[in-house]
Amino acid sequence: MKLFVQNMVCLCCKMILATELEKLDLNYTNLELGEVELSKPISKLERSNLK
């Protein structure tokens, strides 16, 4: 599942997003500026927590 992230402009943003994904136990396969690809689809609750 690919998610697009607004206002992600530097490597610091990338590190912060990786940390937050780990806190929420969301596994990702690819993390680039402006997008993240999750290893599996997420539930509505997980999506809400991510926001």
Tens of pLDDT, residues 1-51: 998 988 888 999 999 999 999 999 999 999 999 999 999 998 999 888 888
Give the model's pLDDT for residue 16: 92
**Alpha-carbon torsion, ordered 45, 29, 36, 20, to 10 deg:** 60
Give the model's pLDDT for residue 37: 95
Cα of 14 vs its chain's centroid, Å: 9
Give the model's pLDDT for residue 19: 93
Give the model's pLDDT for residue 22: 93
Q: 31: Cβ–Cβ under 8 A, 6 or more apart, which residues?
A: 14, 17, 18, 21, 37
14 sits in which H/E element: helix 11-23
Q: Which residues pair with 27 in a beta bridge?
A: none
In this structure, what token pair is assigned to residue 19? 């940390």
